[in-house]
Amino acid sequence: MQTQKEPGFRESVNLMFNRAVTLLDLPQGLEEKIRVCNATYTVRFGVRLRGDIHTFKGYRSVHSEHMEPVKGGIRYATSVNQQEVEALAALMTFKCALVEAPFGGSKGGLCIDPREWEEHELEQITRRFAYELVKRDLISPSQNVPAPDMGTGEREMSWIADTYQRMNTTDINGKACVTGKPVTNGGIQGRVEATGRGVQYALQEFFRYPEDVAKAGLSGTLDGKRVVVQGLGNVGYHAAKFLSEEDGCKIIAVAEWDGGIHDPKGIDVQDLRDWISKHRGVKGYPNGTYVENGMVLIEEECDILLPAAIEGVVNAENAARVKAPLIIEAANGPVTAKADEILRQKGAVIIPDLYANAGGVTVSYFEWVKNLSHIRFGRMQRRQEEARHQLVVDELERLSADSGIGWQLSPNFKDKYLRGAGELELVRSGLDDTMRTAYQSMREVWHSRSDVDDLRVAAYLVGIARVAQSYGTKGL
Ligand code: NAD
């Protein structure tokens, strides 16, 4: 998306890395080791479809193996290329470090438009791609664990898991070779919406600090804030849905690949999503105003801009016209290095991708642990927790009766208090804790260092320092 004059995505990530690394006192050699991508594998394979052999090109890039397995999604899009997967793999390294998910960074992609193929054809293609990666240990529970990204979801992850398990029939941990699987096939509750939920938790945490909110020229809470969303896919849809239904945000515009919808009164996110699922785009949606060039909505007057589609959409060409004082990078790399500079000069606050979309890998981490432990979270503790809470309630009611005070615990309180945490509650709690803790580690750097004036550099500083520490303690 970025203009010709701008550096590409990989270079853009490097520039952001450089801005941070110069503030750390790392030996030159270690700095270079952390910057580079360790390996990128290109695979070309043929699949017989529609009476002909079709050759597909895919990648799996491993950025850093300071911790293994390495982790990162697999993207299906025609725009996939080596620079892109390497940039995304690098982001994964620092993202995992920032949210303390014990993985190195990786990413994969297949040059394909999934909309051009039938489901059974996509299954054949995915299985063959997975086979090529598994046989080279580029998919493995202990070495490299993919997850969904743009254009892929539970369905593809399930095919990948099955392919791995057919090739490794005695691997008892086989299901942990990939995350983002359906719950019925080794997945975990809350993974589908995890990235969008993480975006919501990130914004909630940001709004807990009035001085941070003031830096963006905003005030108050999320309630009533006007949000513009780009991309109503997995991440954008869930983030927009939770923010509008639970935090009182007003989604005033949604940009999609075929145009955008604008409605200052607020868009019904679920209704628009249903329309998109049925009509494959926003065009023709009866509520709000249709805008043919969705990109102009990025420049719309709003409180929060939430790009959740592809990289480079806020670039040197349009950054000066972006009016949002707060941008949350739900997508990876939506703001180029040049645009980042322009926006910072304008005083906008950017909650960076490294942090903002880390909910996905966080819950993927929980899923991987679940697969390795072969037991659902909460299965052992839930009833015991309920029994202990029941004891407290019984005792309170007895005291109240014996003393003659006659207090009654409200049924609503009892319902909530007596219910032990199941898998979904535990996943949400772990995700919320992760997003809060990671924000605080960034914020600490942001506020305490005079040479750090934005959250992106703070995020990179925390991430890079942790990777450096890991190399330092384990040796190369
Ligand atoms: P998705 O395929 O589910 O959704 C992407 C959406 O963006 C689709 O609705 C698509 O139509 C739309 N889109 C594509 N090109 C567009 C354009 N030019 N303008 C406007 N809209 C466009 O993908 P996703 O999983 O939601 O991923 C979106 C972004 O979030 C990517 O950058 C991805 O790397 C990042 N991300 C995803 C996850 C995850 O768990 N899925 C985790 C972390 C980061």
pLDDT tens string 414-464: 999 999 999 999 999 999 999 999 999 999 999 999 999 999 999 999 999
The pLDDT tens digits for 360-401 are: 999 999 999 999 999 999 999 999 999 999 999 999 999 999
Domain boundary among 183, 213, 236: 183
- Has residue 405 got a pLDDT over 60? yes
Task: Find the helix or strand (DSSP H, E) in which 306 lies.
Answer: strand 304-307
Q: Do 146 and 96 share a domain, yes or no?
A: yes
- Residue 3 has a pLDDT of 55
Both structure tokens of 185: 């096939």
Q: Quick check: 190 pLDDT over 80?
A: yes
Pocket test for ligand 1, best of 310, 314, 315, 361 (most atoms within 8 A of CB): 310
pLDDT above 70 (res 1): no
Total domain count, the chain? 3
Distance CA 72, CA 384 (A): 36
**CATH value at residue 341:** 3.40.50.720
Residues 241, 318 within the same domain: yes
Unique residue bearing structure tokens 């975006």: 199
CB 369 within 8 A of CB 175: no
- 248 with 330, same domain? yes
Q: Would residue 465 count as lying in a domain?
A: no
User: Are 409 and 323 part of one and the same domain?
Assistant: no
Same domain for 169 and 295?
no
Give the end of a domain, one of 129, 156, 183: 183
Q: What is the pLDDT of residues 18-41, one digit of tens each?
A: 999 999 999 989 999 999 999 999
Residues 301 and 391 in one domain: no
Closest CA to 310 of 332, 290, 329, 283: 332
Identify whether the C-beta of residue 97 lies closer than 8 Å to the C-beta of residue 463.
yes
Same domain, 164 and 240: no
Q: Are residues 223 and 117 in the same domain?
A: no
Lining residues, ligand 1, CB within 6 Å: 148-151, 195, 230-236, 255-257, 294, 308-310, 330-332, 357, 360
Asked if the structure places residue 468 within a domain, the reply is no
Q: Do 153 and 249 sit in the same domain of this protein?
A: no
Asked whether residue 476 carries a pLDDT value surpassing 90, the answer given is no
The pLDDT mean for the chain works out to: 96
Domain range for residue 395? 378-422
Do residues 103 and 237 both lie within one domain? no
In this structure, what CATH number is given to the domain that contains residue 151?
3.40.50.10860
pTM over 0.85: yes
Q: What is the pLDDT of residues 80-94, one digit of tens each?
A: 999 999 999 999 999
Q: Residue 186 corresponds to which amino acid?
A: G
Secondary structure tally for the chain: helices H, strands E = 16, 12
Nearest-CA neighbor of 349 among 222, 203, 144? 203
What is the DSSP secondary structure assignment for residue 280, as one 8-state letter?
Answer: S
Catalytic residue among 95, 107, 215, 241: 107
If asked whether residues 130 and 273 sit together in one domain, one would say no
Question: Are the beta carbons of 104 and 96 closer than 8 angstroms?
Answer: yes
State how far the Cα of 109 lies from the Cα of 148, in Å rounded to an integer.
10
Residue 329: inside a domain, yes or no? Answer: yes
**Three-class secondary structure of residue 460 per DSSP:** helix
Of ligand 1's listed atoms, the one at least distance from the Cα of 77 is 2
Q: Is the torsion defined by CA of 181, 107, 95, 369 positive or negative? A: positive
Q: Give the per-residue pLDDT at 4.
A: 55
Do 85 and 200 lie in one domain? The reply is no
Estimate to the nearest angstrom the gap between the alpha carbon of 17 and the chain centroid: 19
Residue 212 lies in a domain: yes
Residue of 362, 359, 369 whose CA lies nearest to 176:
369
Percentage of the chain exceeding pLDDT 90: 96
pLDDT (0 to 100) of residue 406: 84
